[in-house]
Chain A
């Protein structure tokens, strides 16, 4: 009688052992982790959207910020980030092929596809490192006005011009203050290659140059240009030369744009990084035959879910940072 009870208990609705969602505990929890992580990312992207709507008529235009491809000079917006997107989608494909091979218990194939996935992740991470480096070191440079706004320099065709290309020759011989040259406990960061005075004098010597403001014309959806003769008003307000980007100021426009770029792509990159680490661990587990002994490759499926999620987030980051 007692044995009978025990038998009915394990099959009853409320006695445990059921899988109403048809998924193991681990897989289900991976799904709920992914959902909560998606909410985290949507919080960040939502905050980005809030600030962008707040400054809707002065936000940087992505095409004018991300214009470069490694090893090639010139103006090529979007191509590189499209390549990054494709790499990540492709690594998602190799991951799902690994999961599929796992269902057929083909150990060698799982290992091979896991390896390809790891390589894809590394290429993506390397690309992102390049993108960051380029974003931080800057390209053309700009000046910042007293009110914090950024003013860029463009030629008659509307193309941005590099500060060094028109700045006047050095007039003041100020050198970087290092501890060996002055007070031994005081030093400063490297001076920009051109001083504010050089830039302003150079601008006055080149009548073909114009200023490009942060403000966006509501009709043409382009940044407002200021002709050479009207530029004095802005140059009189100039505060400092800005080259590249950091968390306080960047040459592309709004400081918040740089901050969100660093934070959101950085947080995503950190996800990719941890995804690669987890993939490597699982890869070695596959190699040593842990899952073969276990009889199933569900662990590959679980890390696969995480990896696809990282891809999924990138699709949204791509749209909201580079396209829209």
Chain B
């Protein structure tokens, strides 16, 4: 089975010589991201925790974005989505992304609503 691998990541900014080399390169990249996450989690810089953007701490935005970046490289390079036909890639990724985004949106808005009722409503009860 002669498999063709696309060996460029970061939109062609880095191109590897072989698939094995690409795997190690992606590992280094993922390790750096995890290292940054852990360092930020331990230091918790004041600037990032006291300021928020769209009702969420900037630090949490950074964590979530870095997580999505990690997820992208695991799926694209380790799971070889980069080498699959776009039809397969889209049928898996778009379906999943849409449903997960929808579900999270509904559940988080609802959770926030329950919190507000708890805090500001006259009626208090265990949900």
Q: Is the CB of B88 within 8 A of A31?
A: yes
- Does B11 sit within 8 A of A, measured CB to CB? no
- Does A282 sit within 8 A of B, measured CB to CB? no
A244 to chain B, nearest CB (A): 24
- Does B17 sit within 8 A of A, measured CB to CB? no
Q: A42-B100, A312-B75 are in contact. Are A28 and B111 (CB under 8 A)?
A: no
Q: Is the CB of B88 within 8 A of A85?
A: no
Q: Identify whether the interface residues of B are mostly helix, strand, loop, or mixed.
A: helix
A32 to chain B, nearest CB (A): 7
Q: A49-B108, A96-B23, A324-B64 are in contact. Are A22 and B84 (CB under 8 A)?
A: yes
Task: Tell me the complex Cα distance, A80–B63, Å.
Answer: 18
Q: Which residue of B lies closest to A103 (CB)?
A: B3
- Does A53 sit within 8 A of B, measured CB to CB? yes
Q: Is the CB of A319 within 8 A of B87?
A: no
A235 to chain B, nearest CB (A): 24
Q: Is the CB of B95 within 8 A of A21?
A: no
Contacting chain B: which of A86-94, A138-146, A165-173, A191-199?
A: A86-94
- Does A119 sit within 8 A of B, measured CB to CB? no
Q: Is the CB of A49 within 8 A of B95?
A: no
Q: A38-B100, A47-B107 are in contact. Are A93 and B27 (CB under 8 A)?
A: yes
Q: Is the CB of B71 within 8 A of A316?
A: yes
Q: Is the CB of B74 within 8 A of A92?
A: yes
Q: A32-B92, A54-B111, A323-B41 are in contact. Are A89 and B64 (CB under 8 A)?
A: no
A292 to chain B, nearest CB (A): 13
What residues of B have a CB within 8 angstroms of the CB of A131 in the complex?
none
**Could you mark each residue 273-300 of chain A with 1 if its beta carbon is under 8 Å from any beta carbon of chain B, else 0?**
0000000000000000000000010100
Q: Is the CB of A77 within 8 A of B112?
A: no
Q: Is the CB of B63 within 8 A of A39?
A: no
What residues of A have a CB within 8 angstroms of the CB of B77 in the complex?
96
Choice from B23, B67, B87, B119 contacting A100 with Cβ under 8 Å: B23
What residues of A have a CB within 8 angstroms of the CB of B3 in the complex?
103
What residues of B have a CB within 8 angstroms of the CB of A90 in the complex?
27
Choice from B71, B80, B103 contacting A43 with Cβ under 8 Å: B103
What residues of B have a CB within 8 angstroms of the CB of A205 in the complex?
none
Q: Is the CB of A315 within 8 A of B111?
A: no
Q: Is the CB of B34 within 8 A of A21?
A: no
Choice from B1, B19, B27, B41 contacting A322 with Cβ under 8 Å: B41
Q: Is the CB of A92 within 8 A of B88?
A: no
Q: A31-B88, A315-B74 are in contact. Are A308 and B79 (CB under 8 A)?
A: yes
What residues of A have a CB within 8 angstroms of the CB of B92 in the complex?
31-32, 34-35
Q: A51-B111, A52-B111 are in contact. Are A42 and B23 (CB under 8 A)?
A: no
B35 to chain A, nearest CB (A): 8
A218 to chain B, nearest CB (A): 11
Q: What is the interface of chain A, defined by CB distance below 8 A to chain B? A: 20-23, 28, 31-32, 34-35, 38-39, 42-43, 46-47, 49-57, 63, 77-79, 82, 85-86, 89-90, 92-93, 95-97, 99-100, 103, 221, 296, 298, 301, 304-305, 308-309, 311-312, 315-316, 318-319, 322-324
Q: Given A89-B34, A97-B20, A312-B74, output 6 extra A-B contacts at Cβ < 8 Å.
A: A53-B112, A78-B41, A86-B34, A92-B74, A309-B79, A315-B74
Q: 3 nearest interchain CB pairs?
A: A53-B111, A50-B111, A21-B88
Q: What is the interface of chain B, defined by CB distance below 8 A to chain A? A: 1, 3, 19-20, 23-24, 27, 30-31, 34-35, 37-38, 41-42, 49, 60, 63-64, 67, 70-71, 74-75, 77-80, 84-85, 87-88, 91-92, 95-96, 99-100, 103-104, 107-108, 110-112, 114-115, 118-119, 127
14 pairs of residues in contact across A and B, judged by CB atoms under 8 Å = A22-B87, A34-B92, A38-B96, A42-B104, A49-B108, A53-B115, A82-B35, A93-B78, A99-B80, A308-B74, A311-B74, A312-B74, A315-B67, A318-B67
